[in-house]
Structure 1
C-alpha cells in the first residue's frame, strides 16, 4: 500500500530517524561498531583478496610452532631449555640484516634459576652458564638497538623477562609491553599505542619496533601518535585500529625448527635473503596457546609456517589442522608493525559522524517505509544495506572504515518503528476506507482515491475497453419457486463465483442488476489485453457455472444457465451521476451493444456471443466460429457476431468438425444457395442449436425464396 507524504508524516519519519540513529550509535552498542570492522575485513578479503605479497611486507614472524616441538633438538625438551638455540637463530637473523627483532614470547625465568635439588646442589647451580649464549645474543642486539623484549603488564608486578635478560638488554630501554586492547565482546580490534611507566610514557612493542625500523622517535599527545610526520589515532584514545588482511598467509612465517637447522647448515645467505631490512617477531603459533579473537575472525585460514624453507623439508599438512576464528597473538603485533610502516592503519570516524551517518541512513529507510508497502520497504531496506556494504567495502580497501553496523541497526529500527507508525496512525484511515467501500467499489478505484488524496468528483474519460454483460436465463421463473432466503443464497452464490472470476482476470464489476452483471475490462486500470481477458473470463464463468450446478447446495434442484455478451470499443468511464451521488461506471454505445449481444444468445441458444471487434482484438488466443450477421434493436448497422469455442489448442475434434460444417453452411446461406445450406446445417443440427435454427430458416427459403432485396442479416426484434 503506497502512501503520499504529509508534513506530519514527514516530521514523524525524521523524528524516528533521529531516535533510531542516536540509539544505534549509543556507546552501549559499541559491540555493533566492532562488528562492522569484522564484516568489512571479511568482505574486503573476499572481494579484493590480499593487499600485497606477504614476503614484500615489512614484518615477518619466526614461529615456535608444532613443527618445532616435533623436531630435534627441541623435541621432548621444555621451552625453557630452548633459549640457547633461539639465541643462535636471533644472531643469524640480525647478521642477515634484520632491522630489529621483537619477542612476543616471554621467558620470565631461566633454567639457571631452578631450585630443584639435583644431587648435592640445585639444578640451577649445575646449569650455570646455560643461557650465556642467549644472553650474549640479546646483549649484542640490544647494544645496536635491534632487540626488543616483550613483557605483559598487569596489576601489580608485570610478567617480564628474567633478571639476567633484563640486564642483557639494558633494562627498560629495550623492553616494551605486549598488552592488547579488548573490546567489550573480548575481540582484539585495536592495539595500545603507549603505556605509562615509572620512566614516563613508553611505546608499545609494535610501535617501538616500527619506530626503530623507520629510525624515528614516536611522540604521543592527547591519545595520538605522531609517527614520522603521520598522526595515528583510533576511535578509542591511545589505540591503533588494526587493519588485518584476510586469510592465513598475510604475514610471512618461518618455523624456528627450520631456521635452527639452517644455522647448523651455515647458510648465511638464506638469512640475508629472507630477513634483510625486515622487522622480525618471535612468538608462538600453536593450536592452543596465545590465541586471540580479532576483527579477522570471519576471514581466517589454516595457519602454518609457509615462508621459504632453508634446511628441513616442508612437513605434510596435519590431519588435526582446521580453520578457526582466532589467530596467534604474534600476528596482532606483526599486523600493527605493517600498518605503521606502510601507513595503513584503519581510519575510523568519530561518534558524531557515525551518529549522523546512522540518522541519514535511517531517514532513507523511514521515508521508504512511509511511501511503500511494508514488504516493499523491507526489500528497499535490504537493498540499501547491500549498497552500503558495497560502498563500505570499497572504502575499506583504502583503509577507511565507514560505519556499517550502526546505519544497518538504525535502518532496521526505523523500518520497524515506521511500519508501526503507519499501522497505528497513517494507514488506519485507509484501512477503514477500504473496509467500508471495498464492498461497493473496485480496489483500483479505491487506490485512485487514496493516491489522489482528495474526494472523487464528477467526470470521466474515453477509454478503449471490453464490456462484459451477463444475465441468468429464466431467472424470474426460478425466483417465483424459491423462498426469499433461498433466493438470496442462490443469487449470492452465483454472483460471488462470477465476480471472483471477473476480478481474477482484471475486470471491474460496474454493477449488479438483479441477477445481471455489468463488468468492464480495461478500466479503471489500463489493460492492453482487455479483450483476451474478457473472453477468458467468460469461458471460465461458463465452466464454473457447470460446476456449481452439480456441486453447490444452493443450486440443488435448480440448474442455472446464463448468457454473456462481449463487445469492445470506446466508452466513457469515470464518476457519473448527480452532484450529490454518483458511481464509477462505464457508458456508451459499446455498453448497449454488449447488452444486445447478451440478449441475442436466446435466439441462437448459445451462452457467449462477442462482436467482431472483440474477436479481432484477441488474435490467435481462441478458436472462434462466426454465427451470423444481425441487426440489433436501436442500431441500423449490422453486426457480425462470433461464438468463442475454446482457448486455442483446447478445441475438441467434434467442436472443430461442427465449426467447419457450420462455416460451409453459412457460406452457402450468404450465397443464396439455400438447398446446400440446408444440407450442411442438417448434418449437425441435432448436435448444434444454431445449426438447427439455420436449417429451419434455409428450409423456409427453399420453399419460399426471398426477393432480390434479401440480405443475409437477421434483425432481432427484442433485446
Structure 2
C-alpha cells in the first residue's frame, strides 16, 4: 500500500473515529444533534400532505367560547351539556379531553349548603326541596352522569419529579393498560414518572378510559417530534391520550406489543404496538414519531360554545367524529414547538398522532438506528478515501457531492416509500467534513478573499459594497470593534390593528412588499441591514466599510423611505390593504459592531447605548407627530445647508443626560421660504420657552399653530406651558422633558 493511500485512509479513519464518538454517545455533539434534527424536520416539511381525516375534529376552547360562556374553568354542568350534545345531538363517535379535571367543582353546592343550613333554613319549602336542589348544584355528579356509558377518554398528566411537600398522586386513574404483574413479562425501557395528576374520582369512575397528555419524550431542542404511547407508573403500564382515543375509535380492540424475534420481549427488539389490525411503529421507549399532516388548523375546528348551545353551523362535521377538546384561546393556548411550526396547538399534536394510528403513515426509527449510522459512516469513509486516491481533485469533488446526493435520495426514498427514518444529518455532515479534510490536505488552499467576504456580508449590504470590500481585502473584518456610526430604526404605525384585519397570507405579502421596498432604499444609501423585527427595520451606516458620511446617508435614507412608501399606496389600495405610515429614529455615536451571537446562530450587528438611544428616538415620533426624528449627534454630521425643525430637549428612559432631537426637513435651498421662516420663529419660541418667558413663547407658538402650516409640536408646547404656569420649574432649568416610557 502506497504512502498516499495510507494517508488517505488515515484521514478517513481519524474523522470516522471522531464521528463515531458521537454516534456511540460516548462524546455526543450538540451540533450534530441539531443538524440531524434539522434534516428530520426538513423531511417532515417537504412531505407534508396538508390534509387530514375530516372525521377528527377539535372542539375548541377559543376566544368566542370564553366570551360567550365566561372565563375558564367553566362549571361542569356546561361541560355535561357539551358532552350530551356531542353524543345525543351530533352523534360523535369518541370524545377525548386534552384537559385534566384535577379539582372538584363544588363551589355552588357548598354555597347552597351554607344557605340551606343558615339564612334559608326556616323558609317554607326549603327542607322539602333540599335533596332536589342538592342534586341540581352537584355539577360533578351532573358531569359524571353525562360521561357515564359514553366513549369518553379523560386526560391526565404524569409528573417526572415530585417537589418537597408535593403529593405523589392527586385525583384518580383509570385501570392500567397492563397491570404491574403483566408488565413484569416485558423488559422495556419505558418512561417511569414519579407522580401523577389525575382526575376527580367522581369523574374518572364514570368512564373506563383515560390517557396521559404530557410528553417527557420531547427532544433536546424542545421540539415535539415523538410522543410516548405508554408510561410505567408504580409497575403498571398506562396509555397516552392519543392511543386511548384511537383505540376507542376502533371499537376498543385488543392491544399487543410486537417483538422480533417474538420471544425476546425487550426494548431492543420492540418493533411496534398493534391496536387490533393497526400497526404503530415505536422506538425503544415505546414512543411514536408524530405523522404531522399540516400546519395549525389542518383539522376541523368547532367552537365549544357552539356545541354547548347546539348551534354548530355544519352538524355533519361532528357526525361519527373522533373529537378532541382542547384550548387555543389566548392565555389558555397549549403551545408546542414542532417540526411544522414553532408555535403549534398542543391538541393538534394528539390529533395528528390519532390520524396516524387510524390511517398509517407513522414512521419508524429502528432500535438499531445507531448501528445503521455507524455502518453508513464507515462506507462513506472508505468511498471517499478511494476517490481521493484514484481520482483527480475535480472528480473527487464530484464524488463527494454525489455521495451527499445519494444519501439524501436514499433517506427520502425510505421516508416516503417505507415510512423508515434513516440517519441523514450526521452522514451528510460527515461526508462534507471528510471531503474538506481530504481537500485541504491534497489540493486546495484557502478560499479566495472575495468569496469569503461575499459569504459573510452578502445578506447585510448591497452587492456593490461587497465588491468594494473584496477590493479592499484586509481592511474588512467581522471581528467586534468600536466605531463612530449611525443607526436607524423604522417601525410601522398601528401595525397591530393592521395585522388583525388581514389573514396570514395577505399579511405576509404586505410585509414582503413593504420590507423589500424599504430595504432597497436603505441599500441605495449604502446602509447595512441589521435585522427585521416583525414590522420594524434596524439598519446602520459606517460598517463593515467605514463611511465618513454615515449620518448624512442615514438621514437621506430615512427621508427617502418615508417618501417612497407612498409608491406602494396604489397597489395596496387595489388589494384592499391600508396605506402604511412609518416612524423613523436616527442616532449617531460610538457603537460596538461585529459578528455576535451564540454557537448556534450569529449575526453581524451593532450594540451599545447609542443604538438603544436610536430605538428610543424612533418611539418618540408618535409623541411629536412627525415621521422622522434624529438626535443632535446626527445633526452635527450633516451639511450646514440642511434645515431641521427643533423638536425638544428630552431625557429618554434609561438616560440621565438630556438629548436634543430634531425633525430633518431637507436642503435649505429646496424648501419653501415661508417654511424656513416658520422654522426660525419656532427656534425663537423654543429659546423663550427655555428662558421661562411663558407669555412670549405662548404668543409665538399660538401664532404658528393658527398659521397656514400647523404642527403637532406647537400644540404640545402650548400644553406644557399651561402646566408649567401652574407648577413653575424654578431656576436653574435646562428645559428638558423626561419620558418615563420607551
Give the TM interval when normalised to the shorter protein: 0.3 to 0.5
TM-score (norm 2): 0.45
TM-score (norm 1): 0.46
Greater Rg by CA: 1
